[in-house]
């Protein structure tokens, strides 16, 4: 996708605590861990509101694919924001304060968009910080799903996250169409968990004459499969399909080149690998060709792609004229609807300040090593015929991100999960038997991977 990745090969002696420690010592990104607050084992065991735990008692947090942990910058940024609000009130909309890490409120969404654009491989004007994932999907589908008499189907993942499924279903129904006939679910071959690129392309061929849009996840939340976004996008567009991507599990996890790949639109949340907090503000990408505003017919007659419009999508130069003549911000900003929550933007900008110190290329390089080490340790000294689990995430690093989905034999999920929780290891489970393990390069270590596998295999042995 951004250049083929090679999987690290670990020697037999790598299965030791000392070897894991040596990998940590050689890690050029190891200092980023100090910029996060790792939940302590003691706090995880209590039901009382508590202060952050001591660094000497950290949990092993492998749940960044569900909710990233808190960057220390959040407190600093939030304090600056609260001080701005309390000291100058409404003037915070238009005043840049010295020594504040945040721009004036009217420019804060652009501050976030500029940082996010580097994460998703886009121009700042192609990205907007706004809304939440499902709301943004609805707004984008309202603009990009234009069914006709002959082209009306939407191709999607067979095991789409409920948000995507519900959103697509509702837009098909909005046009008085039958969802059962017009939702085309693409699934793996029998007995497989991975959906091959060839399978997706064959579905595009099969439904090219009747499909209007393709919407897939960049990374499938259950299996952890990373799709070949570039190839699929190019092929679908050659068949006259509009192409959108849900990047909830890809944002902040893998390298993306949305502009270069010519993606039509995309949406993502920022609370997983993005670490912006539970329910944090999301983001959208709209390719520059869809965000153009044409004033050739006159200053009061702009021509632009239809979308659901709102006040905040209007150009700042005329936003406060209040003349009800909508002149959209060129680019993705013109798809904004409401005045965004400054508090949410503050948390998002704080999280993005960490990403601003590195690159997705460097993070991805460490992530590939971490995940390969996890896979190596899980499979070491196990026999495929007798082991009590299977890794259903692709082994190819080009087809996965940080997450490995480990499918346990029936009846083991809750026992294993309880053992991990009691050991202070946080990862999530998905019925009927999957443990999703996501070592995040910003704050997880090779030693944590080693300790996890030790506890995991101990849990299996005692079950």
3-state SS class at 182: helix
In angstroms, the first-to-last Cα distance of the chain is 41
Q: Which residues contact 83 (CB under 8 A, 6 or more apart)?
A: none
Annotated ligand binding at 164? The verdict is yes
CA distance 39 to 58: 6
Residue 246: name the closest of 285, 275, 210, 280 by CA.
285
Which distant-in-sequence residues (6+ apart) come within 8 Å of 139 by Cβ? 131, 284, 307, 308, 335, 337
Dist CA 157 CA 175 (whole Å): 21
Task: Consult the annotation and say whether 163 binds a ligand.
Answer: yes
Cα–Cα dist 278/292, whole Å: 33
**Any known ligand binding at 134?**
yes
268 is in an annotated binding site: no
Q: Is residue 301 packed enough to be buried (19+ CB in 10 Å), middle (13-18) or exposed (0-12)? A: exposed
Alpha-carbon distance 368 to 406, whole Å?
A: 17
State the Cα–Cα distance between residues 451 and 392, nearest whole angstrom.
21
- Per the DSSP assignment, residues forming a β-bridge with 226 are 219
Q: Are 157 and 216 in contact (CB under 8 A)?
A: yes
Instruction: Write phi, then psi, for 47 (nearest 5 degrees).
Output: -105, 5
Region label for 331, one of left (φ > 0), alpha (ψ between -120 and 50) or beta (otherwise):
left
Residue 294, strand partner residues: 303
Given the DSSP bridges, would you call strands 127-129 and 283-286 parallel, antiparallel or unpaired? antiparallel
- What is the DSSP-derived secondary structure letter of residue 340? P
* Residue 161 annotated as binding site: yes
249 labelled as ligand-binding?
yes
User: Cα 407 vs. chain centroid, distance in angstroms?
Assistant: 22
Residues composing the chain: 463
133 is in an annotated binding site: yes
**Binding residue ranges for pyridoxal 5'-phosphate:** 133-134, 161-164, 246, 249, 271, 311, 339
**Binding residue ranges:** 133-134, 161-164, 246, 249, 271, 311, 339
């Amino acid at each position: 996708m951004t250049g083929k990745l090679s999987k690290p090969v670990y020697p037999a002696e790598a299965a030791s605590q000392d070897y894991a420690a040596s990998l940590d010592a050689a890690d050029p990104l190891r200092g980023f861990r100090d910029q996060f607050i790792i939940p302590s084992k003691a706090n995880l065991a209590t039901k009382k509101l508590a202060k952050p735990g001591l660094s000497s008692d950290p949990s092993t947090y492998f749940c960044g694919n569900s909710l990233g942990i808190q960057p220390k910058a959040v407190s600093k940024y939030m304090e600056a924001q609260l001080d701005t609000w309390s000291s100058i009130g409404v003037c915070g909309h238009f005043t840049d304060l010295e020594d504040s890490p945040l721009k004036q409120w009217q420019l804060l969404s652009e501050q976030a968009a500029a940082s996010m654009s580097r994460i998703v491989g886009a121009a700042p004007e192609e990205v907007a910080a706004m809304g939440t994932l499902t709301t943004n999907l609805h707004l984008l589908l309202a603009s990009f799903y234009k069914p006709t008499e002959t082209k009306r189907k939407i191709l999607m993942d067979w095991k789409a996250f409920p948000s995507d499924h519900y959103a697509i279903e509702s837009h098909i129904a909005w046009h008085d169409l039958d969802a059962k006939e017009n939702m085309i679910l693409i699934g793996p071959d029998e007995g497989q968990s991975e959906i091959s690129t060839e399978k997706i392309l064959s579905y595009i061929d099969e439904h090219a004459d009747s499909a209007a849009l393709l919407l897939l996840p960049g990374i499938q939340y259950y299996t952890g499969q990373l799709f070949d976004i570039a190839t699929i996008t190019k092929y679908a567009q050659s068949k006259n399909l509009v192409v959108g991507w849900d990047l909830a599990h890809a944002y902040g996890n893998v390298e993306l080149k949305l502009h270069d790949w010519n993606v039509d639109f995309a949406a993502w949340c920022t609370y997983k690998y993005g670490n912006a907090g539970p329910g944090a503000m999301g983001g959208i990408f709209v390719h520059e060709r869809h965000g153009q505003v044409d004033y050739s017919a006159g200053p009061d007659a702009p021509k632009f792609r239809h979308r659901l419009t709102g006040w905040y999508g209007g150009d700042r130069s005329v936003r406060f004229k209040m003349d009800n003549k909508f002149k959209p911000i060129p680019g993705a900003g013109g798809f904004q609807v409401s005045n965004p929550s400054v508090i949410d933007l503050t948390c998002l900008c704080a999280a993005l300040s960490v990403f601003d110190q590195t690159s997705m290329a460097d993070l991805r390089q460490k992530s590939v090593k971490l995940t390969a080490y996890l896979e190596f340790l899980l499979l070491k000294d196990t026999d495929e015929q007798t082991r009590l689990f299977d890794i259903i995430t692709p082994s190819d690093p080009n087809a996965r991100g940080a997450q490995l989905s480990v499918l346990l034999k029936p009846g083991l999920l809750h026992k294993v999960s309880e053992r991990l929780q009691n050991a202070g290891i946080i990862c999530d489970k998905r019925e009927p038997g999957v443990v999703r393990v996501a070592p995040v390069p910003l704050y997880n270590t090779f030693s944590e991977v080693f300790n996890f596998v030790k506890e995991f295999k101990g849990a299996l042995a005692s079950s």
